Amino acid sequence: MTEKPKTPEKTGTASGKKLSAQAIVSIIILVLMIIIPLVIYLWKQSEINNIRKDCDKRILEITAQANKTVEENNSKNMDMLTRVFLWAVRSELLRNNLEQIEQYMTDLVKSADLNNISLIKADGIVILSTDKKYEGNAYPGTIAREFAQINSVITKTGENGDLISICPVMGLDNRLGTIVITHTPKKNIFVAKENK
């Protein structure tokens, strides 16, 4: 009887071909430790970006509203300034005191940072103006055609963005003339800053 050669017994350790259950669990845990924080980070970054976009949009809305409020206040202030100035001009015009009116106009332009004040007769010819080139001529621009229809103080925005306040000067029974005050207000005072 001849003996058969013995085959080596398998001891359960493969030469690197199979991983143990403990190694597989360790790899899964390691992969999860990398993937879960990465997913949370990306998710939170997305939320942060959305919040930034919402904040930027809200800042633009607030800025636009603030600028609109400033424009409305500028218009109301011009309206009030014109009304008060009208009282002084009317009383002096009834006394035919043009020198005093001219002094008022010059002082007001300097102190209130206005562009120009003109006093226009009912026929559209400028009697007095802080811009002397207008005096003795028809008032320039498209607004001059509207003077006859204006019966109270109105403030409007001109073609170049100036505020123009127009007010009739009424006598006891007739129209003595029209006051036109122009002012260039500061635009877009509030500007949203760019995020970097």
pLDDT in tens, 20-51: 888 899 999 999 999 999 999 999 999 999 99
Q: What does the pLDDT read at residue 38?
A: 94
Look at residue 14 and tell me whether its pLDDT is greater than 80.
no
**How many domains is the chain partitioned into structurally?**
1
Q: What does the pLDDT read at residue 186?
A: 77
Quickly list H helices, 113-177.
Answer: none
Asked, for residue 90, whether it belongs to a domain, the answer is yes
Look at residue 103 and tell me whether its pLDDT is greater than 90.
yes
Look at residue 137 and tell me whether its pLDDT is greater than 70.
yes
Q: Which residue has the higher pLDDT, 172 or 120?
A: 120
Asked, for residue 19, whether it belongs to a domain, the answer is no
Asked, for residue 93, whether it belongs to a domain, the answer is yes
Rounded to whole angstroms, how far apart are CA atoms 50 and 44? 10
Q: What is the domain-level CATH number for residue 142? A: 3.30.450.20
Asked, for residue 162, whether it belongs to a domain, the answer is yes
What's the average model confidence in pLDDT over 10-17?
52
Q: What does the pLDDT read at residue 111?
A: 84
Asked, for residue 86, whether it belongs to a domain, the answer is yes
Of 11-15, 89-93, 150-154, 171-175, the least confident? 11-15
Asked, for residue 123, whether it belongs to a domain, the answer is yes
Are 187 and 75 contacting, i.e. CB atoms less than 8 angstroms apart? no
Q: Which residue has the higher pLDDT, 144 or 170?
A: 170
Residue 193: which pLDDT band, with cuts at 50, 70 and 90?
Answer: low
Look at residue 12 and tell me whether its pLDDT is greater than 60.
no
Share of the chain above pLDDT 90, in %: 45
Asked, for residue 158, whether it belongs to a domain, the answer is yes
- Domain range holding 93? 48-183
Q: What does the pLDDT read at residue 194?
A: 61
Asked, for residue 57, whether it belongs to a domain, the answer is yes
Nearest residue to 138 (alpha-carbon basis) of 127, 153, 154, 149: 127
Q: Which residues of 75-113 are buried (b: 16+ CB within 10 A; e: fewer)?
A: bebbbebbeebbeebbebbeeeeeeebbebbeebbeeee
Look at residue 94 and tell me whether its pLDDT is greater than 80.
yes
Structure token pair of residue 195: 């995020």
Rounded to whole angstroms, how far apart are CA atoms 178 and 145? 12
Of 46-55, 120-129, 187-196, the least confident? 187-196
Residue 2: which pLDDT band, with cuts at 50, 70 and 90?
Answer: low
